[in-house]
């Protein structure tokens, strides 16, 4: 069974609520009749599988994907007012449950979390896991410009540890995206930077030492940190500031974080497998975004020069263990 850990779906109630206006996100129809969801720094073009389960199932069958772990994508819920964010998260998560109930052999989901209200986010994570049957939660990579390692968000991570469920780092408009608005540089470059910023802040803040049982999965192969691994390690050795909260080299902590495979570059993928091991990689497609690639996500893994056992870990085994399915 191939399990796609990284893909996106907009439940109808979530889109309907956004369409009412008055919040952070803006929904409109362009001159081509396409539904657009705008947010600070970027926008999404909503296509069939974003909102249509039948269209999604046909695409999955065509591409050899047996199961998907549904997640909400940008603009998510964490930049709305607390009241609206909580409502949107509940609507989205209830919508995920409905899909799973109708197709239990094809879908699971991670909960949207209203991180602007951390206690409520922790409670929503628990509700989603215990009452709705969701498998964990999604962390958008900043909350109105705040990085995720700040102490105010620790209640969410503590709850995830208690529930023994994974949390998925997914990027949103980066903390500093002033010059990324041109040429769609937010999704091309900014998303990877924001993901890695949070990965490294979790490492250097000592948060992973404080919560050794916290299970984190970073999208897009972890962002840009695979390219910086040598610089990260030499920086730890050179700068006393890097040793204030951690005693082990950063590579020790980076190897504890799972990443997904949607990177489009075989050399970088193989480098990451050599660094962290195949047991820390899960299949990803980023379906159905414009730069998603479900058509090739399974074949890309099957074509790697690794053992069949390692391919099985990436295609389904690691995700099945993380999600307990």
Q: How many domains, the chain?
A: 1
Instruction: Decide: 1 and 39 in contact? Cβ < 8 Å.
Output: no
Q: What is the pTM of this model?
A: 0.93
CATH of the domain at 31: 3.20.20.140
Regions in the chain scoring below 50 on pLDDT: none
Identify how many contiguous H helices and E strands the chain contains and give both numbers. 15, 12
Give the contacts of 104 (CB within 8 A, at least 6 positions apart).
Answer: none
CA distance 174 to 187: 9
For 248, residues 6+ apart whose C-beta sits below 8 A from its C-beta are none
Would you call the peptide bond into 288 cis, given omega within 30 degrees of 0 as the criterion?
yes
Q: How many angstroms separate the CA atoms of 299 and 261, rounded? A: 12
Beta bridge partners of 37: 27, 44
Range of the domain at 318: 3-323
pLDDT for res 215:
98
For position 179, what pLDDT does the model report?
57
Q: CB atoms < 10 A from the CB of 46, how many?
A: 18
> What gap in Å lies between CA 125 and CA 138, rounded to an integer?
9
């Amino acid at each position: 069974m191939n399990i796609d850990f990284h893909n996106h779906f907009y439940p109808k109630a979530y889109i309907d609520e956004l369409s009412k206006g008055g919040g952070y996100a803006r929904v409109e129809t362009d001159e081509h009749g396409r539904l657009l969801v705008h947010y600070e720094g970027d926008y999404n073009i909503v296509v069939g599988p974003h909102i249509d389960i039948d269209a999604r199932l046909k695409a999955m069958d065509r591409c050899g994907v047996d199961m998907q772990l549904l997640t909400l994508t940008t603009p998510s819920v964490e930049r709305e007012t607390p009241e609206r964010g909580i409502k949107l998260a509940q609507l989205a998560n209830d919508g995920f449950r409905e899909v799973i109930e109708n197709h239990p052999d094809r879908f699971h989901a991670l909960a949207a979390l209203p991180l602007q209200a951390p206690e409520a986010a922790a409670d929503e994570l628990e509700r989603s896991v215990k009452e709705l049957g969701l498998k964990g939660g999604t962390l958008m990579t900043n909350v109105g410009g705040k990085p995720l390692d700040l102490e105010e968000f620790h209640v969410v991570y503590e709850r995830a540890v208690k529930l023994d469920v994974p949390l998925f780092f997914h990027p949103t408009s980066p903390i500093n995206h002033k010059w990324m608005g041109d040429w769609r540089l937010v999704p091309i470059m900014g998303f990877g930077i924001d993901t890695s910023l949070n990965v490294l802040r979790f490492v250097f803040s000592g948060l992973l030492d404080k919560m050794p049982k916290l299970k984190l999965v970073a999208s897009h192969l972890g962002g840009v940190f695979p390219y910086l691994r040598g610089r990260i390690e030499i920086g730890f050795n050179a700068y006393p500031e890097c040793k204030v909260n951690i005693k082990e080299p950063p590579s020790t902590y980076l190897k504890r974080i799972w990443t997904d495979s949607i990177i489009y570059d075989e050399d970088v993928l193989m480098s990451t497998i050599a660094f962290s091991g195949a047991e820390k990689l899960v299949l990803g497609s980023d379906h159905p975004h414009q730069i998603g690639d479900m058509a090739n996500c399974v074949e890309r893994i099957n074509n790697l020069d690794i053992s069949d056992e390692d391919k099985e870990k990436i295609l389904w085994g690691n995700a099945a263990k993380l999600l307990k399915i």
